[in-house]
Amino acid sequence: MVDLSIALSGPWAVGILADQGADVVKVEPPGVGDIGRWVGPAIGGVSAMAQIANRGKRSIAVDLQKEAGRDVVRRLAARADVFVQNFRPGVIERLGLGYDALSAANPQLVYVSISGFEALGPYDGRVLTWIGWCRCGPAATPAAAAYYQFTGSISFELAAAAGGYRRPRTVA
């Protein structure tokens, strides 16, 4: 499994899959790593949340701004069962790492994406910022951000697991 997810929802979901035995390679930017490493109380200089979310994963530093870095991710995805990302809308496609590009080299790849808002909904394609959480509660009232990060994470994990379960039965 190739994990390009950042912050909380994606890493938490993939952490659950690692707990269940998935072999995960976490791809992070060189130097600072995943932004989630710097959120909340730290243990040994790394966020406790990030340590929990990234348990059981191997990690590699890759500069996605460089073609050589994107080639590393393409090679990993060509051998992977599952590819996970939660970048802002359009970013992964601009990097040449969208579903069409990666599935061309690996037609059996289960590609899981998480976004701040539902696909094809009224906010599809919009970036979810902290102000976006104000649109998530009942009658568009503010909601607890962490609640939606965790509930989205569970849906994300189930989608990846279901895709991995179905893949050998449907791909020729």
Give the C-alpha separation, 170 to 160, whole Å: 15
Tokens representing residue 124 in the block = 């599809």
Q: How confident is the model at residue 20 (pLDDT cuts 50, 70, 90)?
A: confident
- Residues 109-134 pLDDT 10s: 989 887 665 556 666 665 555 444 45
pLDDT at 92 over 70: yes
What count of Cα atoms within 13 Å lies in the side-chain half-sphere of residue 171?
13
Answer whether 0.85 is exceeded by the pTM: no
Question: Structural domains in the chain?
Answer: 2-170 (3.40.50.10540)
Q: What is the pLDDT of residue 172?
A: 44
